[in-house]
Chain A
Amino acid sequence: QVQLQESGPGLVKPSETLSLTCDVSGDSMNKYYWSWIRQSPRKGLEWIAYIFHSGKTNYNPSLKSRVTISLDTSKSRFSLKLNSVTAADTAVYYCAGDFDGAGALVSWGQGTLVTVPS
């Protein structure tokens, strides 16, 4: 089973860019669609974006203008950048993997809390 671990700053100032990385171990990155998902009391679980090893990406339309997802298979990691953050972006951010794009997120990181002060 693949293991995932998020890392990045826990506090981001308003209007700045949130940057997170997910380190992947235990399986080939080429088998999975890699997603970022966030969870907040206000919006519940919210899918942000995914990327496949081919470079194919897909973004949540509500966040697309502010989000970039990228992949570095040589380092077994993928990343998220969310710019122009506000307090509404405060959430626990998870990275997750969907085996072969089958529509189910089989592996999740432990999550990392990112706070944007108001």
Chain B
Amino acid sequence: QSALTQPRSVSGSPGQSVAISCIGTSSDIGTYDYVSWYQQHPGKAPKLIIHDVSKRPSGVPDRFSGSKSGNTASLTVSGLQADDEADYYCCSYAGNFPYAFGTGTKVTV
């Protein structure tokens, strides 16, 4: 199972929006609606912010939204805040391989 492809970095000013793409294949994102996104601050564990393509766990601000089209998933962060500066990883179910992670994207605010 190959890693899902994400841009290495994206940046935006406070208040702006950024979108992060996650490119997979018909064996993972293209077939299953089990796409999740994780936020990771330096030295910390990843934190789930989106699951099942577009659902937010309790406590995650609605500034974070997810979507999917074909073999590509996307995470949008609206109203950028300083604390949103972190690494973001997508993850998809891929049949018998339950957690195929993306390459990671560094968001700079």
Contact = CB atoms under 8 A, between A and B. Distances in A.
Interface stretch (A23-31, A68-76, A81-89, A104-112): A104-112
Interface string A75-118: 00000000000000000001000100111111011110000000
Interface in A32-87: 33, 35, 37, 44-47, 50, 58, 60-61
Q: How large is the interface on A (under 10, 10 to 19, 20 to 34, 35 or more residues)?
A: 20 to 34
A103 B89 contact: no
Contact of B101 (A44, A50, A106): A44
B47 A103 contact: no
A104 B45 contact: no
Contact of B34 (A35, A103, A108): A103
Q: How large is the interface on B (under 10, 10 to 19, 20 to 34, 35 or more residues)?
A: 20 to 34
B41 to A, nearest CB: 12
B101 A46 contact: yes
B99 A35 contact: yes
A84 to B, nearest CB: 22
A105 B3 contact: no
Contacts of B51: 102-104, 106
A94 B48 contact: no
Contacts, number: 65
Nearest to A48: B99
A58 B98 CA distance: 9
A102 B57 CA distance: 13
Contacts of A37: 99
B45 A103 contact: no
B98 A103 contact: yes
Contacts of A109: 45
A37 B51 CA distance: 18
A60 to B, nearest CB: 7
A50 B98 CA distance: 9
Nearest to A43: B3
B74 interface: no
Interface of A: 33, 35, 37, 44-47, 50, 58, 60-61, 94, 98, 101-106, 108-111
